[in-house]
Homo-oligomer: A and B are copies of this chain.
């Protein structure tokens, strides 16, 4: 067995957009395992928009990513050595081992998963944090009832695709917003949304109105900015908004809510949330998502970059909406 592995650290903090020079690829020694620890070979690294926030020095809901330390990130892999009785070599696990070929973790921070019937990568998407994010927003914030219209931005992405499918299963009208005709066609034809608005087509307001003839009762917001403002104008009274992300502002652009007045006049509710703070609901949510997955009721799509060195460009692409479905890096 090799005695080293590769990792990517944060070399510098971005000024505005993320650039490849913000990262540095390193080879480091595998540390010796302590009691209770597990050594994992990572097969997949999950890339997610929240990473952009962590790269800034400003404290957000979490501490900033430290410079010269392994970039934070969710991973799925296989145990190669264990000094923890709960894990054995060969076990498939997910964890937060970061942008690295291998990683050592306390067993308490790993989750054993069954990859015999479900692809390992799905545990970073539909059956992982993105899936739980959609499940939490729909169930805990949006309270969407059958017949209501639910809208989700970044609809072809890892979170949005699950959100819309869950809404459809509940009997809602599911409307997506995505960038480009190809993504929109996928959202409607493959995922089964009722409609999808292409925000790049240049007639956002007209298209939104056509896609939501009865208005919007609940929004799952991933993007913010102009798109959110346009969606607000379609909201019905007492609408609910799950605020999950504001990708539009992650590079430092302003993401004002210009139609804030509508929050009052339409008596809307809005709540920002971070799904990792609600671990108590993960078992319930993952059980429901797993059952739907087993029944073939949840479709998903992945954008897979090959090799750790491809991770920086893949993240940069993700932040610009270049991915199509869940963005992963395949490490092995």
Contacts and interface: CB of A to CB of B under 8 A. Distances in A.
A183 to B, nearest CB: 23
A33 interface: no
Given A246-B261, A256-B257, A257-B257, A267 B224 contact: no
Interface in A234-278: 237, 243-246, 249, 254-258, 260-261, 263-274, 277
Contacts of A245: 264
Given A269-B269, A271-B270, A258 B256 contact: yes
A60 interface: yes
Contact of A269 (B244, B255, B270, B274): B270
A21 B269 CA distance: 37
Taking each of A60, A224, A256, A273, which has the highest tally of chain B beta carbons within 10 Å of its own beta carbon? A256
Contacts of A258: 254, 256
Nearest to A61: B265
Contacts of A53: 265
Nearest to A240: B271
A70 to B, nearest CB: 23
A53 B262 CA distance: 12
Contact of A261 (B249, B263, B269, B271): B249
A266 B224 contact: no
A243 B265 CA distance: 10
Contacts of A256: 256-258, 260
A20 to B, nearest CB: 26
A283 to B, nearest CB: 21
B267 A277 contact: yes
Residue of A249, A254, A270 ringed by the most chain B CB atoms within 10 A: A270
A61 B267 contact: yes
Given A61-B237, A237-B61, A266 B272 contact: yes
Contact of A260 (B224, B261, B269): B224
Nearest to A224: B260
Contacts of A266: 61, 272
A255 B261 contact: yes
A181 to B, nearest CB: 29
B237 A263 contact: no
14 contacts: A53-B265, A60-B265, A224-B260, A224-B261, A254-B258, A255-B260, A256-B257, A256-B258, A256-B260, A257-B260, A263-B270, A266-B272, A269-B269, A269-B271
List the 5 closest A-B pairs by CB distance, nearest first.
A264-B272, A257-B257, A256-B256, A60-B265, A269-B271
